[in-house]
């Protein structure tokens, strides 16, 4: 692609961003569809957010992804935020709409699409969600429109209860939230169809850290792990070895990226191209 005076700039802000997979993923998609867009990584420290956002406006950056540590703080720098992203309390995507910065959170739709595209039917299913942080909230808000029953377990029980109560107030039944312990996990797992790890446990560098008794996984379960570094987490490996259907964090990364891409370009994302680019990059870096 030739970069011209009209090329639209998208990017990611965060600290660190030098290992982000988003630039290769989005640039591969722009190239594939011959869109006059480019995607770059902007390293922005916590204390630089305000000036960075002024710069984004002045430089007419078209679209942004937002990662740690800015996902929460960035909301106060936007002109408008999607109501679900406001509830989640975190924005991972920004669209510059003729000078107005609008925030979204694509984690929930990314997870649902990743599950469905991997052949997991959500209708009438019972889901056990581990975690009640930003990613878990995003997923719970999207999942609840599809599934029959949702149990949320979290190390800090107040957060699980608060999330469950919000979803119940929004008109959903069959939701509970409580502490994550060996007992609550075993009890909830018994009639679970889909288990989702939305905690950061298992993430590099603590890849041996374990949240649950992996021996209790079963072949009739579907298991999704949002952790994508490493690609094969301990949970994913154990689930696979039990014969369970598995959706890895890479799938979720790609589909949340695809949702951002579609917000910026108004064009269907070329999923396979994005996936190939990410897997190539991971393979080059020795992660797979």
Just list the catalytic residues. 71
Q: Which of 106, 151, 154, 172 lies at the binding interface for ligand ATR (CB under 6 A)? A: 154
Which residue, 27 or 154, has its beta carbon nearer to ligand ATR? 154
Give me 120's structure tokens: 């997991």
Is position 135 an interface residue for ligand ATR (rule: CB under 6 A)? yes
Binding segment (CB under 6 A) for ligand ATR, from list 155-163, 181-189, 243-251, 263-271: 155-163
Is position 84 an interface residue for ligand ATR (rule: CB under 6 A)? no
Is position 14 an interface residue for ligand ATR (rule: CB under 6 A)? no
In angstroms, give the least distance from the CB of 79 to ligand ATR. 23
Is position 249 an interface residue for ligand ATR (rule: CB under 6 A)? no
Contact indicator for 68, 14 with CB cutoff of 8 Å: yes
Q: CB atoms < 10 A from the CB of 12, how many?
A: 24
> DSSP 3-state helix, strand, coil percentages of the chain (rounded to 5)?
40, 20, 40
Q: Which of 63, 103, 133, 270 lies at the binding interface for ligand ATR (CB under 6 A)? A: 133
Is position 163 an interface residue for ligand ATR (rule: CB under 6 A)? no
Contact indicator for 8, 40 with CB cutoff of 8 Å: no
Which residue, 156 or 190, has its beta carbon nearer to ligand ATR? 156
CA–CA dist 148, 115 (Å, integer): 16
Give me the residues that bind ligand ATR (CB under 6 A), please: 131-136, 154-156, 159, 199-201, 211
């Amino acid at each position: 692609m030739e970069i011209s005076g009209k090329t639209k700039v998208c990017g990611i802000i965060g600290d660190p961003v030098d290992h982000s997979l988003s630039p290769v993923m989005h640039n591969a998609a722009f190239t594939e569809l011959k869109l006059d867009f480019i995607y770059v990584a902007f390293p922005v420290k916590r204390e630089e957010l305000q000036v960075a956002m002024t710069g984004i406006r002045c430089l007419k950056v078209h679209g942004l992804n937002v990662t740690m540590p800015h996902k929460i703080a960035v909301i106060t720098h936007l002109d408008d935020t999607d109501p679900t992203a406001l509830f989640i309390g975190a924005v991972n995507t920004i669209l510059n709409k003729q000078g107005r910065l609008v925030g979204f959170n694509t984690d929930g739709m990314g997870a649902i699409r990743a599950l469905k595209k991997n052949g997991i039917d959500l209708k009438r299913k019972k889901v056990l969600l581990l975690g009640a942080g930003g990613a878990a909230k995003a997923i719970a808000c999207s999942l609840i429109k599809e599934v029959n029953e949702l149990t949320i377990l979290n190390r800090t029980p107040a957060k699980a209860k608060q999330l469950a109560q919000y979803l119940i107030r929004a008109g959903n039944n069959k939701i509970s939230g409580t502490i994550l312990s060996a007992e609550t996990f075993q009890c909830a797992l018994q009639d679970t169809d889909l288990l989702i790890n939305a905690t950061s446990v298992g993430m590099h560098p603590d890849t041996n850290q374990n949240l649950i008794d992996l021996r209790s996984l079963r072949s009739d379960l579907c298991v999704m792990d949002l952790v994508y570094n490493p690609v094969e987490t301990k949970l994913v490996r154990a689930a696979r070895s039990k014969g369970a259907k598995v959706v890895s964090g890479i799938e979720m990364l790609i589909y949340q990226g695809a949702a951002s891409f579609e917000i910026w370009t108004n064009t269907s994302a070329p999923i396979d191209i994005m996936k190939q680019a990410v897997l190539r990059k991971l393979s080059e870096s020795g992660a797979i």
